[in-house]
Structure 1
Amino acid sequence: MILRFAAVVVALLSTPALASPPILLMSETEHAAPELPPILPMRERAEVIDRILAERLDTIIPAIMREQGIDMWVLMAREYFEEPVVATMLDATSMSARRRTILVFHDPGDGQPVERLTVSRYGLADLFEASWEPAQQPDQWQAVADLIAARDPAKIAINFSDLTAFGDGMTLSQYRLMHAALPEPYRERIVSGETLAVRWLESRVPSELEIYPGIVRIAHALIAQAFSREVITPGETTAADVQWWYRETLASLGLTPWFHPSVGIQREGADGMLSGDTVIQPGDLLWTDFGITYLRLNTDTQHLAYVLKPGETEAPAGLRGGLAATNRVQNHLIAAFEIGLTGNAILARARATAIADGLDPSIYSHPIGSHGHGAGTAVGFWDNQNGDPRSEYRLRANTGWSIELTSYTAVPEWGGQKVDFRSEEDAWFDGETVRFLDGRQTELTLIGSE
């Protein structure tokens, strides 16, 4: 299999530059063994990233500032200590914040364009207007204070939050410096930018939605490859071997995992999930959790596979029924989505209908997009099915989701052993309907034993 992927890499590098990544339509049907889509060379990736970033800045920033009634938003990051929001606003060739990077958004009102300013020693492509001359004002925070005084905003948002890391980017040391530089009247105008941060990070623009199904297809293609005889030889291959196959393959393709891939084994007569150096055997139910970052969007997928015993042509009916039960939990969850509901309310609604349907669910779904575990309201946690303060934020439209959950089912062929049928599929909520970006698994992947 290593030779096959080496050949793919050579072919990709020798292909003429692509203007854009492959565009796939969202689908409710997942392909069992999809082909790996073409992957852009680095230069073309940068062009896509910067084009999308410009669209995000042009459209999302004015909308969320006016929605929240904020006329100035001040963001700060230090080199190698990027805060989550600033990290998503750097252009594709800015690998990190430089020294201290300060970004300022100002809405003059009356429908005028929002100013995008950078009070930083180094610019950020053409996305922000440079607004600091160190030779004239050596004190960077004093330059920010002067900029604020010249515009006289009524509310100055900075990122601090007790609840979410996404809105807590302003460090104590930098807040003290900013506060000391500001004239007294402006110190009283500081408010939290927590909701602005979440709204920026959770919102997706049309060009992101256009490319997202193709990014998920890459992940699905790699999972299908991992769960095949090209990677797994029953009786020889370990769970850890498959994990590191993922890592090596991603490196060869110039792709990045946002977490180390997981591979687990459930086996008749064995307690819990086996992993690590456990050798995969015929009759095993395999599970994987796998996510990539590509073009600044993330995927998060969990799939199941069954290793056929000699003479078998399909998985036992009890295992097939377990996956079907998990699909039913998915149906209850996506039916519970409604704009304005909190994550806690969605969780309660979904659990109630799933349990009434005779299912044994655990729901722990989360937003996805700029981060794998993205900004927004969570719908349950694996260790808390009763509501959580982090899930009091309300659901918004035009957001990406990982529909992540499990159901527990007793498998007759395994002596009534209760089995964990985990699933995770990436999806899109348009305000009315949840649609899977590249389908969902409804049948167990089968791996031959010989």
Structure 2
Amino acid sequence: MQIILVFIAFFLLNISSCVRETPYQYPRKIKRMPAEKFFEIKKAKLERFVLPAMRNEGIDMWIVLTREYVVDPLAKDLSADRAVARTALVFINEGNSLKRIAICASYDVDPIQKSGIYDTVISYKKEGLAPHLKKIVEEKNPRKIALNISEDFPIADGLSASTLSYLKNILGEKFASRFVSSENIVMAYRSQLLPEEIEIMREAVKITEEIISKALSNEVIKPGKTTEKDVANYIKKTDA
């Protein structure tokens, strides 16, 4: 009799091990913001936060320079994170409005133009970026030119030493003596949120709380079986 009971127990154990576990019920995912909406928000923030910051600082022009492998931290916000060649993003304080000009290589034009951020997109070829940027600066003759150089804020410190040297060579000592840090402009832009951004963040926080709660629940964690990697993989799949 004992032998039969042992056999039955062994048989049931093997059957249960062959049954698939109930697949996870993943929480809802954070919806990706359409590119058009993303850049619509960025354009609105430039007008609402950057222009007042430039006026308060007495800054006439803000220049952001970026290129492949030396990408400025703000490049994505300004639609230049995919630029391969050297790209200049120029913001001019015109009192009641902010003029926005992008200077980029001909093969980098499309995504920058499609963002809708810039009033003017200047395409260069063999002549390079330098003559176009020099012309804009000389015509506007800004008293203060803000650059992304900062000792304290990494987000406002995207200008490499070689690019700064390049800029000085283009514009000469006259304008190089007018260079100032853009950190107050960058902080005003990055630290303040539009109502639309606040709503997006609230929704993202709710979904994140759902994901973490589910990831740490008995549905996912099986004592003695689930590893940290399993939990991490679960969380990653919610963002897939």
User: 2:167 corresponds to which residue?
Assistant: 178
Aligned CA distance change for structure 1 residues 143 and 128 (closer, same or farther; 3 Å): same
Do structure 1's residue 118 and structure 2's residue 108 form an aligned pair?
no
User: 1:157 corresponds to which residue?
Assistant: 146
| Unmatched runs of 5 consecutive residues or more in structure 2 | 1-21
User: 2:238 corresponds to which residue?
Assistant: 249
Post-superposition offset of 1:142: 2.8
Contact persistence 2:61–2:91 (CA under 8 A): yes
Aligned CA distance change for structure 1 residues 74 and 214 (closer, same or farther; 3 Å): same
Given residue 159 of structure 2, which amino acid in structure 1 is its aligned partner?
M
Given residue 185 of structure 2, which amino acid in structure 1 is its aligned partner?
L
2:178 to 189, 214, 218: 189
CA distance in 2, matches of 1:2, 1:81: 44
Contact persistence 1:145–1:183 (CA under 8 A): no
User: 2:117 corresponds to which residue?
Assistant: 127
Tell me the alpha carbon deviations over residues 185-214 of structure 1, each in whole angstroms, 9 at most, x when there is no partner.
212111111222222221211211122110
CA distance in 1, matches of 2:87, 2:213: 42
Contact persistence 1:142–1:182 (CA under 8 A): no
User: 2:223 corresponds to which residue?
Assistant: 234
1:77 to 52, 55, 66: 66
Do structure 1's residue 214 and structure 2's residue 203 form an aligned pair?
yes
Given residue 220 of structure 2, which amino acid in structure 1 is its aligned partner?
V
Post-superposition offset of 1:2: 4.4
Post-superposition offset of 1:80: 4.0
Q: Larger relative contact order (C-alpha < 8 A, sep ≥ 6)?
A: 2
Contact persistence 2:46–2:189 (CA under 8 A): no
Aligned CA distance change for structure 1 residues 147 and 227 (closer, same or farther; 3 Å): same
Contact persistence 1:84–1:166 (CA under 8 A): yes
Number of residue pairs the alignment of both structures matches: 213
| Unmatched runs of 5 consecutive residues or more in structure 1 | 6-35, 252-450
User: 1:144 corresponds to which residue?
Assistant: 133
Do structure 1's residue 224 and structure 2's residue 208 form an aligned pair?
no
Say which SS state the counterpart of residue 239 (structure 2) adopts.
helix
Seq. identity, %: 28
Say which SS state the counterpart of residue 60 (structure 1) adopts.
helix
Which aligned pairs between 1:262-341 and structure 2 lie closer than 5 A?
none
CA distance in 2, matches of 1:37, 1:249: 8
Post-superposition offset of 1:225: 0.7
CA distance in 1, matches of 2:161, 2:192: 28
Aligned CA distance change for structure 1 residues 133 and 242 (closer, same or farther; 3 Å): closer
Do structure 1's residue 106 and structure 2's residue 92 form an aligned pair?
yes
CA distance in 1, matches of 2:57, 2:158: 19
User: 1:371 corresponds to which residue?
Assistant: none
RMSD: 2.2
Given residue 174 of structure 2, which amino acid in structure 1 is its aligned partner?
P
Tell me the alpha carbon deviations over residues 215-237 of structure 1, each in whole angstroms, 9 at most, x when there is no partner.
11110110111011110012221
Aligned CA distance change for structure 1 residues 156 and 2 (closer, same or farther; 3 Å): farther
Which aligned pairs between 1:433-444 and structure 2 lie closer than 5 A?
none
Post-superposition offset of 1:243: 2.0
Tell me the alpha carbon deviations over residues 137-181 of structure 1, each in whole angstroms, 9 at most, x when there is no partner.
813123211110100111001111222211111111111111001
Which aligned pairs between 1:26-41 and structure 2 lie closer than 5 A?
36-37=27-28, 39-40=30-31
Tell me the alpha carbon deviations over residues 394-449 of structure 1, each in whole angstroms, 9 at most, x when there is no partner.
xxxxxxxxxxxxxxxxxxxxxxxxxxxxxxxxxxxxxxxxxxxxxxxxxxxxxxxx
Contact persistence 1:120–1:130 (CA under 8 A): no
Given residue 120 of structure 1, which amino acid in structure 2 is its aligned partner?
C
TM value normalised by structure 1: 0.44
Say which SS state the counterpart of residue 122 (structure 2) adopts.
coil
Say which SS state the counterpart of residue 78 (structure 2) adopts.
coil
CA distance in 2, matches of 1:131, 1:235: 60
Do structure 1's residue 96 and structure 2's residue 85 form an aligned pair?
no
Given residue 25 of structure 2, which amino acid in structure 1 is its aligned partner?
R
Bigger proportion of residues as helix: 2
TM value normalised by structure 2: 0.80
CA distance in 2, matches of 1:130, 1:51: 16
Given residue 106 of structure 1, which amino acid in structure 2 is its aligned partner?
I
Given residue 84 of structure 2, which amino acid in structure 1 is its aligned partner?
R
Bigger radius of gyration: 2
CA distance in 1, matches of 2:185, 2:81: 24
Aligned CA distance change for structure 1 residues 174 and 200 (closer, same or farther; 3 Å): same
Contact persistence 2:134–2:171 (CA under 8 A): yes
Contact persistence 2:60–2:142 (CA under 8 A): yes
Tell me the alpha carbon deviations over residues 359-382 of structure 1, each in whole angstroms, 9 at most, x when there is no partner.
xxxxxxxxxxxxxxxxxxxxxxxx
